[in-house]
Amino acid sequence: MKIKQMLVSLACAAAFTGSVQASDLKTVVEGDHRTESFAARDKYRHPQETLQFLSIQPNMTVVEIAPGGGWYTEILAPYLKEEGTLYAAHFPADSESAYYKRSLKAFKEKLAADKDSYGKVKLTEFDPAAGRPIAPAGSADAVVTFRNVHNWMNGGYDQQAFDSFFTALKPGGVLGVVEHRAKQGTSREDMIRSGYVTQDYVIQLAKKAGFELEESSEVNANPKDTAQHPKGVWTLPPSLRLGDEDKDKYLAIGESDRMTLRFRKPKS
The count of other CB atoms within 10 Å of the CB of residue 74 is 25
pLDDT at 40: 97
Structural domain includes residue 73: yes
Structural domain includes residue 14: no
Write out the residue range of the structural domain in which residue 169 sits. Answer: 19-264
**Close Cβ partners of 220 (under 8 Å, ≥ 6 residues apart):** 44, 45, 46, 50, 178, 257, 258, 259, 260
Return d(Cα 25, Cα 212) in angstroms, integer. Answer: 26
Structural domain includes residue 12: no
Structural domain includes residue 239: yes
- Tens-level pLDDT at each residue, the chain (268 residues): 344 343 333 333 333 333 444 569 999 999 989 999 999 999 999 999 999 999 999 999 999 999 999 999 999 999 999 999 999 999 999 999 999 999 999 999 999 999 989 999 999 999 999 999 999 999 999 999 999 999 999 999 999 999 999 999 999 999 999 999 999 999 999 999 999 999 999 999 999 999 999 999 999 999 999 999 999 999 999 999 999 999 999 999 999 999 999 999 999 8
Structural domain includes residue 11: no
Angle, alpha carbons 102-205-211 (nearest 5°): 110
Structural domain includes residue 206: yes
The enclosing H or E element of 173 equals: strand 169-180
Q: CA dist 127 to 68, 74, 93, 118, 152, Å?
A: 14, 23, 10, 22, 10
User: Phi then psi for 20, rounded to 5 degrees?
Assistant: -95, 125
pLDDT at 2: 40
What CATH number is given to the structural domain containing 257?
A: 3.40.50.150
pLDDT at 23: 67
- Secondary structure (3-state) at 42: helix
Structural domain includes residue 254: yes
Structural domain includes residue 5: no
The structural domain count of the chain equals 1
Half-sphere exposure of 229 (CA within 13 A, CB side): 30
pLDDT at 219: 98
Return d(Cα 231, Cα 166) in angstroms, integer. Answer: 33
**pLDDT tens readout for residues 200-243:** 999 999 999 999 999 999 999 999 999 999 999 999 999 999 99
**Close Cβ partners of 197 (under 8 Å, ≥ 6 residues apart):** 149, 150, 153, 179, 180, 181, 182, 186, 191
- pTM listed for this prediction: 0.91
User: Phi then psi for 98, rounded to 5 degrees?
Assistant: -65, -40
